[in-house]
Amino acid sequence: MELHNDLADKTIVITGATAGIGRAALHALASRGANVIGVGRSADRCQQAKQAVLAEFPAARIVFVVADLSSQQQVRDLASEITRLVGEIGGGKIDALINNAGTVSSWYVATADGYELQFAVNHLAPFLLTHELLSLLEQAPSGRVVTVSSGSHYKAEIHWDDVMYRKGYGCLKVYMQSKLANILFSAELNRRLGAGSSVHAYAVDPGLVNTEIGFKGTSGIEKWVWRRRKKKGVSPEQAAETLIFLAVDPSVNGSGDVYWKECQPKVPSADALNEDEAARLWALSERLCGIIWG
């Protein structure tokens, strides 16, 4: 099929583009002619996702970079490779960074950096990757940082005494904390960039989505629950619509709303809008990533 080409001037980076919502977003963005840089942790799955788009849209512009986002060194190497690619094929700018990759884990798993896996992949990786790519987002007329959160954040709090849950680990509460962190990060990024910035950050609740996320890194009981629950979810294609809307739609320009569902702004939890919590999480994230955001 022919490309629609209405996004031919856009360069978009999307993590977790090998499955579920991210793969659906990659497909839709590439079909509209965007220059898409997908990120996945498995070279085989990256190749499969790319070939699936090219089979339908032979002229699609997709490159994949392989990175395990649980490793901060790999996040830094990923950012360097994206920077090189954007210089070569992306017109020296990134119009949107979609921080979509996410994981769950039934067990406490320590990353190569010694951090808890869900906190590292779901929060610290978007924090660090956005930091590393911000100057390229600032080259775009309206740079967007879209981070995929979840409605589960409403029941969450940041567990300040032990943010990595080294004691009292529980799959769901650790996941929900990371999804609250996604909104705190987006809101604080907007505050730090200031009202005059060309870059804006948004967090998305994709709703319940029929993907395989609950089958990866989970125990038998969680797999059992997810097998039943996911059937009630919307398709990844439907969930991807809000990510795409926030990444490219001109009507979003200037919106002060940070949290979105079904292409509409939504009020997140009071904790998610707490500026003290956001500043505290920001400072902790800087320390855990070994960076100082200018």
Ligand X SMILES: NC(=O)c1ccc[n+]([C@@H]2O[C@H](COP(=O)([O-])OP(=O)(O)OC[C@H]3O[C@@H](n4cnc5c(N)ncnc54)[C@H](OP(=O)(O)O)[C@@H]3O)[C@@H](O)[C@H]2O)c1
Active-site positions read 175
CB 149 within 8 A of CB 177: no
Which of residues 7 and 78 has its CB atom nearest to ligand X in the complex?
A: 78
Find the binder of ligand X among 31, 70, 130, 218 (CB under 6 A): 70
Show Cβ contacts of residue 14 under 8 Å, excluding neighbours closer than 6 positions: 22, 25, 26, 29, 36, 37, 38, 39, 98, 100, 243
Find the binder of ligand X among 83, 113, 191, 233 (CB under 6 A): 233
Q: How far is CA 87 from CA 4, 81, 84, 251, in A?
A: 24, 10, 5, 28
Show Cβ contacts of residue 249 under 8 Å, excluding neighbours closer than 6 positions: none
Pick from 241, 246, 245: which is nearest to 200 by CA? 246
44 touches ligand X by CB under 6 A: no
Find the binder of ligand X among 6, 56, 212, 275 (CB under 6 A): 212
Find the binder of ligand X among 6, 8, 42, 160 (CB under 6 A): 42
How far apart, in whole angstroms, are the C-alpha atoms of residue 185 and residue 106?
24
Which of residues 38 and 93 has its CB atom nearest to ligand X in the complex?
A: 38
14 touches ligand X by CB under 6 A: no
* SS3 labels along 18-80: CCHHHHHHHHHHHHCCCEEEEEECCHHHHHHHHHHHHHHCCCCEEEEEECCCCCHHHHHHHHH
Which of residues 70 and 186 has its CB atom nearest to ligand X in the complex?
A: 70
How far apart, in whole angstroms, are the C-alpha atoms of residue 190 and residue 172?
28
Total binding residues toward ligand X, as defined by CB under 6 A? 28
121 touches ligand X by CB under 6 A: yes
105 touches ligand X by CB under 6 A: no
- Binding window for ligand X (CB under 6 A); candidates: 16-24, 247-255, 257-265, 274-282: 16-24
18 touches ligand X by CB under 6 A: yes
22 touches ligand X by CB under 6 A: yes
Half-sphere exposure of 142 (CA within 13 A, CB side): 12
- Binding window for ligand X (CB under 6 A); candidates: 14-22, 138-146, 258-266, 282-290: 14-22
Phi, psi of 35 (to 5 degrees): -85, 110
25 touches ligand X by CB under 6 A: no
Kindly state the smallest distance separating residue 3's Cβ from ligand X, in Å.
Answer: 23
273 touches ligand X by CB under 6 A: no
241 touches ligand X by CB under 6 A: no
Half-sphere exposure of 120 (CA within 13 A, CB side): 20
Which of residues 66 and 252 has its CB atom nearest to ligand X in the complex?
A: 66
Tell which positions 141-200 bind ligand X, by CB under 6 A. Answer: 148, 150
208 touches ligand X by CB under 6 A: yes
40 touches ligand X by CB under 6 A: yes
Determine the angle formed by the axes of helices 171-193 and 275-289, rounding to 10 degrees: 100
53 touches ligand X by CB under 6 A: no
CB 117 within 8 A of CB 71: no
Positions that interact with ligand X (CB under 6 A): 16, 18-22, 40-42, 45, 68-70, 100-103, 121, 148, 150, 206, 208-209, 211-213, 216, 233
